[in-house]
Structure 1
Amino acid sequence: MATDELDRFADLVRARRTHLLVDRDRDVPRELIDRLCDLATWAPNHKRTWPWRFASFTGQGRARLGDAFAHDMVTAAVGDEGKRAKTRGKYLRAPATVVVGCAAHPHPTFHDENRDAVAAAIQNLLLGATAAGLASFWSTPPVIDGRTTLDLCGFEPTDRIIGVIYLGWPTSTVNAPDRPAPTITRVEH
């Protein structure tokens, strides 16, 4: 029955949590990261521009990511040295990190639609991570267009970073915060 499937999906959506209470020493298999990125690409995308970009960081690659962001922070005059030092180490908080980027589009409407599609792709990735038993955390990078980080990720210079997703095996659970009921405007006639 379709209601049963919807109930299972609702349970999955409500089970997703943003947290970093993870086992830092337990690797997330490359195959699982690849599968999550593949699931992400099933997000809706107007005009089939396929705007998402993915870069996976594990092991010492996570430290390289922190160094790249810190370098871009200096170039963009973002934060002080204390903030940059924190950035250098922050990507070591989880055993895997996926940087998700978005291809630019010359038309402003399509550019916005591409970004929206990438955000939907990230939600697919997060739900897939939850279904696989992983904890996840969607973070905004300190600089979204830094050349050093874009190069490290293998992205184009015009791409923009939409999110940095931490992935790891949870060591604890996090309670769901209360959420207000949605406001729905109903137009029936």
Structure 2
Amino acid sequence: MTGSLQQGLPKDLYAEAVRRVQAAGGRALVDSHDELLQHAIEARPFMIKTNRFELEALVGQPLTNHQDIVREARRLQERGVTWVCVSMGAEGVLLVTSSSVLKAEAPSVPVISTVGAGDSMVAGTAGLLAQGASEREALREGIACSAATVMQPGTELFNKETVDRLRGEVRVTQLSL
């Protein structure tokens, strides 16, 4: 589940969707913010994807370094979120799982439009997770999809050929935090 909702829809809609997905045996991934994200977290999704600014708003304080981000991600895990993925702009992405902290850096590409980049990251990650890939490979795929999307004009999304080319250029390292 990604994005905002139209006016008038209930703020706990994503939370209800998370419950339904998980009751059916699936793993819910949520990329949202504010009240929608707050409610979704209460439903214990498998993964949330947020950016640093959204995470700071969620926890009510600035997060100035990787240690701060990981600390708050671990607090979210204590509340039932399995994976916490935080995009940090030019600094890359942190993925905090129960067993590791991974940092991914996207390849340098020409940025034409950022519309859909976060959604593409979630889609790529979800796609590989559904195929049983490791957390490292799922994150790599998500970053490659996101990088390929920013190369497209307007609301166009990535294409397979570009993702295939960029995948090997995504750098994923394990941090000891």
Q: Shorter chain as normaliser: what TM range?
A: under 0.3
User: If you compute each CA radius of gyration, which structure gives the higher value, 1 or 2?
Assistant: 1
Q: TM-score, normalised by structure 1?
A: 0.24
- Of structures 1 and 2, the one with the larger relative CO (CA 8 A, separation 6+) is 1
